[in-house]
Amino acid sequence: MTPEEFLERIKERFEVDAHISENKMPHPRKRVWINVDRAEFKNLMKFIKEMDPKAQFSIIIGEDRGEYLSAEYHLELFYEQQPSLSVIVATSCPKDDPKIPSLGDVFPSSVPYERENREFLGIEFEGIPDPRRLFLPDDFPEGIYPLRRDETGIKPEMIKNAGHPYKIGGAKK
């Protein structure tokens, strides 16, 4: 299936903002970029998995985008007669309602990345099978998210330097 055919099938069933890009170097390759409302996000991802049961999840790139939080799920799809297809599906949520459905039941390997985005950005993945912290210590304050740019982000006084020569507020003399 070509990227164009894949995207056409998606657009037949879902209302999405999507495009195909192509990187030139070092290996020319097309990527399909899809942005979908969080209400349709899980249905779209299930449909992609139905289209290619061997689809592989790669990573989630989460980001604080000012008024909202975004999550980009990177996938690789495989077809017999075509090169693999790189697909990026993005969805977002407002900061005052930071909820996105978990894909733990569709792509089980997404769970650690959902846990990471939960603790660093504050995105709540509804239905996540394992909501425990992954990186931050258990005593890290609730409601503080190190990758947020707003008032819930990490405060400079919370950073432990561990002897690094560059200290917050300048080096001691």
Provide the pLDDT confidence category of residue 59 given band limits of 50, 70 and 90: very high
pLDDT value of residue 162: 55
pLDDT, average across residues 84-98:
95
User: 95: number of CA atoms within 13 Å, CB side?
Assistant: 15
Query: How far apart, in whole angstroms, are the C-alpha atoms of residue 6 and residue 19?
Result: 11
3-state secondary structure the chain: CCHHHHHHHHHHHCCCEEEEEEECCCCCEEEEEEECCHHHHHHHHHHHHHHCCCCEEEEEEEEECCCEEEEEEEEEEEECCEEEEEEEEEEEEECCCCEEECCCCCCHHHHHHHHHHHHHHCCEEECCCCCCCCCCCCCCCCCCCCCCCCCCCCCHHHCCCCCCCCCCCCCCC
For residues 72-88, average pLDDT: 87
- pTM value is 0.86
Map out the domains of the chain with their CATH numbers: 3-132 (3.30.460.80)
CA gap 90, 16 in Å, rounded: 10
Q: Which residue has the higher pLDDT, 152 or 110?
A: 110
Lowest mean pLDDT across 41-45, 58-62, 81-85, 164-168? 164-168
Tens digits of residue pLDDT in 151-172: 888 877 776 655 555 445 554 4
Residue with tokens 């592989």: 56
Residues pairing with 104 in the sheet = none
Within a 13 Å sphere around the CA of 22, how many CA atoms are in the beta-carbon half?
8
**Are the C-beta atoms of residues 136 and 119 closer than 8 Å to each other?**
yes
* Mean pLDDT of all residues in 67-92: 90
